[in-house]
Amino acid sequence: MAAVRRLVIDVLKPHDPPLLTFTNQLADIESVEGVTSSLIELDQEVQNVKLTFESEDLDFEAIEETIDNLGGSVHSVDQVACGDSIVRDRRTLQDA
Amino acid sequence: MASIRQFLRRLLGKEDVRAISRRYFISNGFDGTLTSIGIIVGAVLSGVPDGYTVIKIGLGAAVGLGTSAVWSVWEIERAETRAEIRRTERAMLKDLDDTRVQRDQSGARFVHAIMSGLGPLIGVLIPLTPFVVEGTVVTMAEAALIAVGLGIGVLGAFGAYMGSISGQRWYVAAARMGLAGLVVAILNLFLPG
């Protein structure tokens, strides 16, 4: 099976642990080389964050398990890049 | 063992955990110290013949107050944290059992209960120490005076600490807290019997 090189997911998490700790914990996963988290929406009890992972071969199950353990839940998988290299998303006429 | 240390360090690194523990510690320590001063002055004025008896009465109070402090905080925090987790669970539409959120809440509850119990133990036991040497180094009256002084000192230390973390003048905060010890001792002097 082709290696997953980039993964963009939408996650709902409680305020605690804070985003910095949350992202740090995700970066500690063995298969993850780098992760970027962006706050999308802030609610009274929860935060909606976008997480972008990059690596040679991402282990989605380990990522999901860690998010679950930190109290978060994966809402949707928004982008996946697989294969030997990451292919840039190109604009088409329909996107205009 | 290392993970427990790491877990505790993480918990104690949280300002809200430290703040709540501090409140329980000082509040119950204040109760314990004033109870101890009251017991000591009352016991000596009632004609308790030796220091050993005062210590036994004081230890009874320490056990009672310590247990009350641990037990009540454990139950209060259990209800409060459960309510907080339920609010988050409703917002998340997810069960948070066995997640870091739930583990941190349980750990914080444990820290609060321990700190809450530690307050009255310190508050009761320190003023009792002069009675250990009653009969050999000091008389009952002298031991009582030193005990009241120690109690006021403990209250002053609580006040100074609270003053220092809140940016007040520590000696004013210490004097304000210490005054309570003096008031309890004087009130006990005028009690009938």
Which of A41, A43, A69, A74 is the best substitution to test chain B (most B C-beta atoms within 10 A)?
Answer: A69
d(CA B104, CA A25): 15
* Residue B78 confidence (pLDDT) above 80: yes
**pLDDT tens readout for residues B175-184:** 999 999 999 9
Mutual orientation of helices B2-12 and B15-45 as an angle, nearest 10°? Answer: 90
Which CATH number is associated with domain A4-84? 3.30.70.1340
pLDDT of B193 above 60: no
Question: Would you give per-residue pLDDT tens digits along chain A (96 residues)?
Answer: 889 999 999 999 999 899 999 999 999 999 999 999 999 999 988 999 999 999 999 999 999 999 999 999 999 999 999 999 889 888 998 887
Across the interface, whether the CB atoms of A43 and B100 are under 8 A apart is answered no
Amino acid at residue number B135: G
> What tens digit of pLDDT does each residue of B121-139 get?
999 999 999 999 998 999 9
Say what the pLDDT of residue A1 is.
82
The sign of the CA dihedral A79, A5, B96, B17 is negative
Is there a contact between B91 and A68 if contact means CB atoms under 8 Å apart? no
Interior/surface letters B124-147, b for 16+ CB within 10 angstroms, e for the rest: bbbbbebbeebeeebebeebbbbb
Yes or no, beta carbons of A69 and B99 under 8 Å apart: yes
Residues of chain A contacting B, Cβ within 8 Å: 12-14, 16-17, 43-46, 68-71, 73
